[in-house]
Amino acid sequence: MPAFAELTPDELQAGFNRKYQQYLGADSQMLLPFALIEAHEWKHIQESRPLLKIYSEPGKYYNQKVYAFTLYRAGDSGEYYLNAKGGFWGMDELTYGPLTEKTFE
């Protein structure tokens, strides 16, 4: 496994949920403090880079809606991307990144 993958998927997921729990409550209206990627940019990343799915967690409250959070790691750089899909009628999709492992510690 590459040197940049020091934390296990379970450690990354637990670290994210612990560190950002105030953003993930049913009543929270706060937005995650990450750079938001536009939909066309995320599509380009998906088509042009090898992405490894690290974990997927459905049923996460975020900004008063329910999302499935999926974390990806770019195989060529070790950067992480967090995708949130769901919201009203499952039509919302938000992607944040690039993130580093420090984001989850």
pLDDT at 104 over 90: no
pLDDT at 89 over 80: no
pLDDT at 4 over 60: no
The per-residue pLDDT of the chain, averaged, comes to 89
pLDDT tens, position by position, 15-64: 999 999 999 988 888 999 999 999 999 999 999 999 999 999 999 999 88
pTM of the model: 0.87
Order of strands, sheet of 51-62, starting from the edge strand that comes earlier in the sequence: 36-37, 92-99, 80-86, 65-74, 51-62
Q: Do residues 60 and 40 make contact, with C-beta atoms less than 8 angstroms apart? A: no
Enumerate the domain spans of the chain: 9-104
- What stretches of 1-105 adopt beta strand conformation (E)? 36-37, 51-62, 65-74, 80-86, 92-99
What's the rounded Cα separation, in Å, for the pair 57 and 60? 7
